[in-house]
Structure 1
């Protein structure tokens, strides 16, 4: 357990960081977490059976379920009960003051008949886009919930393409035999000719000003829906349910306030393109706790719109608690970006376990996004078998540049420049990763003021810092396969390496690179364990390294 002195120290660090945000931004700490309001419902219960619903897996129950929800809401709200059974349905629309309770052994299964899903103006990766109506949705609502121990299945396989390389031979043969069409090279399966045509010609789903939805009718099959989308809703509870097999993102609260996601199980196939688990976008005051995720893309992801459209929306995702979650497959365990143009702040991540994710703590953006991501705190994070980096920052998301490390030296800082700063991670253990820590900012805007302490990582490689500023690594143990170097620094400044433990007989402790590298402070570290302490290359000066003995 963390002692009181250390806890107070973290609270002080958090308070200091938050105080720099500006007037009007609440100051939170580990001892003063954000408060999330909960919905409250009348006890009145409406059974969907009384509205004609039938749990036979054949009857299409769309009208019956929606009628039950509407009736309940009009009478002041309460519980709409879906009892045990297999309930086939089309899109469901939530209403004010209604708790949709899906009983244990109830399976809410969404139809493969795509004509049941209307073409709507939705959001795709932070921008206005044509989409098929989500299986479950709600807009401008208050006091709503989905609870119980049942299963919600989005029937996602009828919506998405899949590459042959992602399946076993028998799975591929079964997929091809199910219908659909193949790409001309025979390596990709599409649900339909319409999907194939839109995909292979790179048709855009984004809706331009003045463009009508009817112009997207000939590519409707390509416009995969998110399983659940809640837009501009207040006081939301999602609890106990298994959400699985979504056509695209699974759970997508957008511009919501006071949302709690508790004890959920979220599962998508690992081949599911855009198969994110939870994407919290431009929301304020939220909690994700006790959830288990195993998905095809980012697991728990923080977003706030993309590029100019996201900046104009101007709604950061803020004041969040993410704790006691277990994550299996996913592109990242906890993720921020890359659509974060409205910013993100005041988010606390604690007691989470990542097993087999591509990355652990993942932060991503690119020039043009803009937005400020700050005041992110994580502690007691435990990881195993991470495919790539345990802790990862990259401001070159999906950008290709020279393999020799040369980067576009753009000196321009404008509204499209992303800012990542003021974060504190501690008490992190990772057994198995390609790289322990990777931080790559922009030359014109380094990733700044990142403090990582009490970190133990077994990985192929150690630490890499590029265009970083004010990074502090304290009490770090690195068990690495590569012994050359343990720490790589390139064009970074004000770097503090305090009490770094590494393998004996390593070839090189530190590689210092770049003429913009200054003020590297090394203390309480036995560099004699390495055959060579440091090399200075590409304009880096030996005087940039400041060594202090310490204890």
Structure 2
């Protein structure tokens, strides 16, 4: 068969399959949200005290709790009851058809004895890695839950390093007196000498080159576990519990389906390194509602693997509902990335409040990640005292370059090029931020088709768009204190600003920069409140800017 003809046939087959898949795939909207299947359980109850558990905070109850869970599952499932008290334990392994239920005033407290936690194969930031066994874990399960009004405490302080500048003087004195070792410059506290050597030496925990978990014994103390990890599970429910003080990420469902996280309080210290609240990774069909988070890193975060390993996994995080949640402290309120190489899509975020987070809606990636993030929708989002940006997109996550470095580099688009597109954010209020909107794509792959509608943003700086395409703002009010300019556009194409309001006596409304900037349209916007309507720099063309007075 002719090679060209064969290639044509294969291309047509690929197009047919893609179109066929598109027709079968469900189309979600605010009127047709994803459906999440719920677990159900028998009423049979297995009280952990019947298996020898003692609530004195001293007796180690690992064996008793796991025996109760095992027997419950073997007998067809039901409720494993944790009564009030402090129940000291090592790792708890969940089983199918078991609802671990903590009564009010019950605390499941995980042991500080690290020998209780075996080194196992896990994942670290989207890649296979050696980790200490999670305090709570479950793999290949179906119909599983952790419910009640109790507390699950990971005793994370014994696992984490902390910088001196993150603590008060009194807290630092207490930390140093508790044991551990200091970095040679005295500015970092480590839990142990082993942790220090692994950290300072930049040792990797990744399972590369045929390495096994047992090969990492010399850096065991450095392999901090996530508090709760469910891997390849179906129909998972977390409801009512306080999860706190995790060694690393707090809640980490991975490659799982039909998840419900409801009425949770997720709490980590502000100084907790990798102290994320919820990391939903490569999961399908999930609901996060009525939760409160106060954490040391990103709060509600969407992930799907990292770089080539994540792309080979090929499992996007998709079909999610996130509503009626409150975030107090965190690097971001709602976050996508940066480990999103498997993609993310069909996620609906609504009726959430972010109070004092570093960023509000946060999207981040970098060259080499790959992955497609699209069909993300947010509405009725309320923010206060945001330290940095209220709405943030950046494809240069953790990339450092001088401000005067030319940014016209355009490498060839390949499988490692991240794509962020097709999103709509509406009805958003921010009372206090450094910057209202920041969107920075890549020269070779602009961030595309982001609709911002009905926004009121009180911030020091208005908005900045760099390497974007098809961005539209409609009915947006900027209460920008530093008003030169209110809106900056750099090397962007096909941007529309409709009904923009801004402070009176504004020095400069628009700064248009870059010879790749094309088709910037402003309409239904009054220019009488600004001394200078627009400024053109760096080869930007007046012919590419159309301002239609209101």
TM-score, normalising length: structure 1: 0.96
- The reply to whether residue 151 of structure 1 matches residue 154 of structure 2 is no
**How far 1:520 sits from its partner (Å)?**
0.5
- Could you say if the C-alpha distance between residues 409 and 21 of structure 1 is closer, same or farther in structure 2, counting changes exceeding 3 Å? farther
User: Structure 2 CA distance, aligned partners of 1:460 and 1:405?
Assistant: 25
SS in 2 for 1:249: coil
User: Structure 2 CA distance, aligned partners of 1:422 and 1:21?
Assistant: 19
Q: Which residue of 1 aligns with 2:414?
A: 414
Q: Which residue of 1 aligns with 2:46?
A: 46
8 A Cα contact 2:525 2:548, kept in partner: no
User: Structure 2 CA distance, aligned partners of 1:502 and 1:376?
Assistant: 27
> What does 1:427-446 align with in structure 2 at a 5 Å threshold?
427-446=427-446
CA displacement, residues 153-195 of structure 1 (integer Å, 9 cap, x when unaligned): 0000000000000000000000000000000000000000000
8 A Cα contact 1:401 1:407, kept in partner: no
- The reply to whether residue 503 of structure 1 matches residue 503 of structure 2 is yes
Q: Which residue of 1 aligns with 2:7?
A: none
Q: Which residue of 2 aligns with 1:219?
A: 219
Once superposed, which parts of structure 1, at least 4 consecutive aligned residues long, lie more than 6 Å away?
none
SS in 1 for 2:399: coil
Q: Which residue of 1 aligns with 2:286?
A: 286
> What does 1:359-508 align with in structure 2 at a 5 Å threshold?
359-404=359-404, 406-407=406-407, 409-508=409-508
**How far 1:20 sits from its partner (Å)?**
12
Q: Which residue of 1 aligns with 2:274?
A: 274
8 A Cα contact 2:281 2:305, kept in partner: yes
8 A Cα contact 1:46 1:81, kept in partner: yes
User: Structure 2 CA distance, aligned partners of 1:229 and 1:21?
Assistant: 31
User: Structure 2 CA distance, aligned partners of 1:158 and 1:387?
Assistant: 29
SS in 2 for 1:76: coil
Q: Which residue of 2 aligns with 1:88?
A: 88
CA displacement, residues 194-242 of structure 1 (integer Å, 9 cap, x when unaligned): 0000000000000114112222100000000000000000000000000
CA displacement, residues 483-520 of structure 1 (integer Å, 9 cap, x when unaligned): 10000000000100000000011110000000000001
User: Structure 2 CA distance, aligned partners of 1:540 and 1:464?
Assistant: 16
8 A Cα contact 1:183 1:196, kept in partner: yes
User: Structure 2 CA distance, aligned partners of 1:209 and 1:69?
Assistant: 37
User: Structure 1 CA distance, aligned partners of 2:318 and 2:64?
Assistant: 37
- Could you say if the C-alpha distance between residues 20 and 384 of structure 1 is closer, same or farther in structure 2, counting changes exceeding 3 Å? farther
- Could you say if the C-alpha distance between residues 70 and 122 of structure 1 is closer, same or farther in structure 2, counting changes exceeding 3 Å? same
Count of residues paired in the alignment: 532
User: Structure 2 CA distance, aligned partners of 1:339 and 1:464?
Assistant: 24
Q: Which residue of 2 aligns with 1:296?
A: 296
CA displacement, residues 40-82 of structure 1 (integer Å, 9 cap, x when unaligned): 0000000000000000000000000000000000000000000
User: Structure 1 CA distance, aligned partners of 2:412 and 2:491?
Assistant: 17
User: Structure 1 CA distance, aligned partners of 2:26 and 2:253?
Assistant: 22
> What does 1:124-203 align with in structure 2 at a 5 Å threshold?
124-203=124-203
**How far 1:407 sits from its partner (Å)?**
1.8
TM-score, normalising length: structure 2: 0.96
Q: Which residue of 1 aligns with 2:327?
A: 327
SS in 2 for 1:341: coil
Q: Which residue of 2 aligns with 1:237?
A: 237
CA displacement, residues 386-412 of structure 1 (integer Å, 9 cap, x when unaligned): 000000000000001221262251231
**How far 1:374 sits from its partner (Å)?**
0.1
> What does 1:245-284 align with in structure 2 at a 5 Å threshold?
245-284=245-284
User: Structure 2 CA distance, aligned partners of 1:546 and 1:208?
Assistant: 54
- Could you say if the C-alpha distance between residues 243 and 479 of structure 1 is closer, same or farther in structure 2, counting changes exceeding 3 Å? same
**How far 1:120 sits from its partner (Å)?**
0.3
SS in 2 for 1:308: helix
SS in 1 for 2:40: coil
Which piece of structure 1 moves more, 283-292 or 206-215?
206-215
8 A Cα contact 2:283 2:316, kept in partner: yes
SS in 2 for 1:434: strand
- The reply to whether residue 25 of structure 1 matches residue 31 of structure 2 is no
User: Structure 1 CA distance, aligned partners of 2:199 and 2:312?
Assistant: 29
User: Structure 1 CA distance, aligned partners of 2:172 and 2:131?
Assistant: 27
8 A Cα contact 1:467 1:490, kept in partner: yes
Q: Which residue of 1 aligns with 2:540?
A: 540
User: Structure 2 CA distance, aligned partners of 1:138 and 1:408?
Assistant: 47
8 A Cα contact 1:90 1:110, kept in partner: yes
**How far 1:303 sits from its partner (Å)?**
0.1
User: Structure 2 CA distance, aligned partners of 1:84 and 1:266?
Assistant: 20
What stretches of structure 1 of length at least 5 have no aligned partner? Answer: 1-18
SS in 1 for 2:128: strand
> What does 1:115-130 align with in structure 2 at a 5 Å threshold?
115-130=115-130
Which piece of structure 1 moves more, 453-462 or 399-408?
399-408
CA displacement, residues 361-394 of structure 1 (integer Å, 9 cap, x when unaligned): 0000000000000000000000000000000000
8 A Cα contact 2:335 2:361, kept in partner: yes
User: Structure 1 CA distance, aligned partners of 2:287 and 2:160?
Assistant: 30
**How far 1:23 sits from its partner (Å)?**
4.1
- The reply to whether residue 206 of structure 1 matches residue 178 of structure 2 is no
8 A Cα contact 1:45 1:79, kept in partner: yes
Superposition RMSD on alpha carbons, in Å? 1.1
8 A Cα contact 2:51 2:65, kept in partner: yes
8 A Cα contact 2:237 2:260, kept in partner: yes
User: Structure 1 CA distance, aligned partners of 2:398 and 2:408?
Assistant: 14
